[in-house]
Structure 1
Amino acid sequence: MHSNALAVVFALLSALTIAWGTVLRHQIAEQTSGDPDDAHGSPLLAAVMRPKWWGGVLCALAGYGLQIVALGFGTLLVVQPILVLSLMFTLPLSAKFDGRRVSKSEMSWAGLLTVAVGVLVIWGKPLPGRSIPELDAWIIALAVGLVVIVAMCWFAGHRPANERALLLGLVTGIIMGYLAVLSKSVVAIFTDDGVHGLITSWEGYGLLTCAAIGTGVQQLSFNAGALKNSLPAMTIGEPIVAFVLGYTLLAEKFQVQGLGWIAMGVALLVMVASTVVLSRKSVD
């Protein structure tokens, strides 16, 4: 059943849950990245040893489950912009844990982000496309993504800490963008063919692999350097990659013409700018 209204509701619930998980894992990253002796000198292993980290992972998994439900009702072009609103929830949660108030500047940028997302979802009126792309199209898309990801990871390994955090954050966003499209396909396969369809299709295994790699790279980006460098990259990288894949693989479309594309372009730029500003403020 296609219902953008239900997709919006579940996407908002997903954004809230993701925000909780992000705050918890940020706290763990801050506690472990400065302790090289913990867990045999590995910040990632040190994080995994903390119960709070697993709480953050469970929140992330629950948020992802809600995202899958949202994608079952609506298009990527509806769900992905709304997930960016997780920053709206991250700000007050971070402020509460840090014992501070949300500033007027943060509120202003949050308002701009909300308006931008509203324009993309309401003005754009996205149309659904195909749920399961052709295998040939998938092979090309995955090959391009793999080359880009491997190259960026190699380059990140030769850069200073903050640049490495930024690059790994962007890699995380790219992986999560692919994960969103795989999720859409998995939902369609399960709806049409049930559990047997998932077991006999490659998309389900691809989804699990992508999710595991994405979670690991995300934690590495948190521990590589300042969170204000990694969080903006991963937060904005995911919807942009999902937008591109939604258009090219799933053939989803916005219902705008002529000057309407100017409004959509401005909204996208505002969403990117406000996301970068808010994600940096949320971890300052």
Structure 2
Amino acid sequence: MNATVTAVVLSLLSAIGYATAAVAQERLASRTAPSAGVLRLLRRGTWWATVGLNATGALLHVAALKYGSLTLVQPLGALTLVAAVPLGAHLAGRRVGRGEWRGTALTLAGLGALLVTAGGHAPRVTMDVPEALAVAAVAMALVAGLSRRGARPGLRFAAASGIASGVASALTQTVTVSVTDSSGPVLTWQVVLVAVLVAAFAAGGLLLSQIAYREGLGAPLAVVTLANPIAAAAIGLTLLGEHLTGGFQGVLLAFAGAAAAVRGVFLLTRTAPADVLADAPVDVPADVLPDVLPDVLLADGLPGVVPDDLADLQATAPQVPPYTGVPVRRTTIPSPPAPALSRSSSAASGT
């Protein structure tokens, strides 16, 4: 198995790990109050399960970067979205829609075009410390700008997460090549510094994605999937000596593949039709409902999910006034009066 095939296989396995983690993060975000902070998440077992899934995907991704270039490995990250859509649909108890299948096909076709033009050679060029610090500074400025308050916070946090993850991947390649290079010492202060930057951007990307998934799975994950390879490819083409193969025709094919992949990702963001949302389970706090509606009983078989974080929901839930009703007494409904006879009808009856 050559280096390119190895990189592709490892990237596929990494995408499956990231997709499972994304679905788990979205379900965790839907059961957590928006006011919950990072420290509260750290006390949740579900959060650490998502960290483990992301770590598995990251390790496979690092291994793929050992055998393939950024322009080869990073576009395969879009397969995370392709895997997350059917997995999320299965957990939601619905079928994958026709538009979602079209989006999957377009995404795969676009990825195929990008893989043909990507340089598949194993990386050898690394960033030095000034370049790594410059990349980190620019990335932190972009992340800070996207993380400010404003409209569409889910998409902005998703873009910030994708940029942070893409920078972490680019820096990871530098660490991987430097550590496996037998011509010098394994660990130097430069390698340790870049490794610290990798850990910081990876953790930041994970936390930013958790915030983004509060608005659902499809659109935030699509933005993460697009921003990640764009950031990594920009670094690889400008600083790591990577290039597209095939000359001018290869560049055109790469743009066509990118356009198809973007169109496919757009179709895949539409993962929650209105008729599916109508049948979705409703989160009902078990110890709040009897106090708010004491005379209402849930029918057998009614779908409902008890949130994991009841304390946060109770603290942020609006205060409902006590249940009041209009007194009704049992009585006998009087019979309606007999209809009055008109003169014409009386005369007719007399004759």
1:86-235 superposed matches below 5 A: 86-127=80-121, 130-154=124-148, 157=149, 159-160=150-151, 163-192=152-181, 196-197=187-188, 201-223=192-214, 225-235=215-225
- State yes or no: 1:42 paired with 2:31: no
Q: How far does the alpha carbon of each residue in 1:258-281 deviate from its partner, in whole angstroms, 9 at most, with x for none? A: 233222111111112212331442
Match among 218, 227, 242 for residue 237 of structure 1? 227
Greater CA deviation, 200-209 or 21-30? Answer: 200-209
Cα contact 1:174–1:241 (8 A) shared by 2: yes
Q: Residue 2 and residue 282 in structure 1: after superposition, are their counterparts in 2 closer, same or farther (change >3 A)?
A: farther
What amino acid does structure 1 have at the position aligned with 2:6? Answer: L
Displacement after TM superposition at 1:257 (Å): 1.5
Displacement after TM superposition at 1:184 (Å): 0.4
Q: Residue 56 and residue 279 in structure 1: after superposition, are their counterparts in 2 closer, same or farther (change >3 A)?
A: farther
What amino acid does structure 2 have at the position aligned with 1:281? Answer: T
The runs of 5 or more residues in structure 2 that have no matched partner are 278-351
Task: Give aligned pairs, total.
Answer: 272
What TM-score comes out, normalization by structure 1 length?
0.87
Greater CA deviation, 261-270 or 235-244? Answer: 261-270
Instruction: Please identify which structure carries the higher helix content.
Output: 1
* Other-structure match for 2:316: none
- State yes or no: 1:5 paired with 2:21: no
Q: Residue 87 and residue 79 in structure 1: after superposition, are their counterparts in 2 closer, same or farther (change >3 A)?
A: same
- State yes or no: 1:19 paired with 2:10: no
Q: Distance in 2 between matches of 1:175 and 1:248?
A: 18
What amino acid does structure 2 have at the position aligned with 1:85? Answer: L
* Other-structure match for 1:83: 77
* Other-structure match for 2:268: 278
Q: Distance in 1 between matches of 2:119 and 2:253?
A: 13
Q: How far does the alpha carbon of each residue in 1:213-249 deviate from its partner, in whole angstroms, 9 at most, with x for none? A: 22222222223x3444422221210011111011011
Q: Distance in 2 between matches of 1:280 and 1:134?
A: 42
Greater CA deviation, 133-142 or 209-218? Answer: 133-142
Q: Distance in 1 between matches of 2:191 and 2:13?
A: 31
Q: Residue 270 and residue 254 in structure 1: after superposition, are their counterparts in 2 closer, same or farther (change >3 A)?
A: same
Q: Residue 174 and residue 62 in structure 1: after superposition, are their counterparts in 2 closer, same or farther (change >3 A)?
A: same
What TM-score comes out, normalization by structure 2 length?
0.71
Q: Distance in 2 between matches of 1:99 and 1:43?
A: 30
Q: Secondary structure at the match of 2:31?
A: helix
The runs of 5 or more residues in structure 1 that have no matched partner are none
Q: Distance in 2 between matches of 1:101 and 1:43?
A: 34
* Other-structure match for 2:239: 249
* Other-structure match for 2:323: none
What amino acid does structure 1 have at the position aligned with 2:153? Answer: R
Greater CA deviation, 65-74 or 1-10? Answer: 1-10
Q: Distance in 1 between matches of 2:102 and 2:220?
A: 22
Displacement after TM superposition at 1:117 (Å): 0.5
Among the aligned pairs, what percent are the same residue?
26
Q: Distance in 2 between matches of 1:19 and 1:198?
A: 34
What amino acid does structure 2 have at the position aligned with 1:83? Answer: G
Displacement after TM superposition at 1:46 (Å): 4.8
Q: How far does the alpha carbon of each residue in 1:36-73 deviate from its partner, in whole angstroms, 9 at most, with x for none? A: 6xxxx416455444322221211110000000000011
Cα contact 2:105–2:264 (8 A) shared by 1: no
What amino acid does structure 1 have at the position aligned with 2:23? Answer: V
Q: Distance in 2 between matches of 1:216 and 1:194?
A: 34
Q: Distance in 2 between matches of 1:209 and 1:23?
A: 23
Q: Residue 280 and residue 58 in structure 1: after superposition, are their counterparts in 2 closer, same or farther (change >3 A)?
A: farther
Q: Residue 196 and residue 143 in structure 1: after superposition, are their counterparts in 2 closer, same or farther (change >3 A)?
A: closer
- State yes or no: 1:31 paired with 2:31: yes
Which structure has the greater CA radius of gyration?
2
Displacement after TM superposition at 1:140 (Å): 2.9
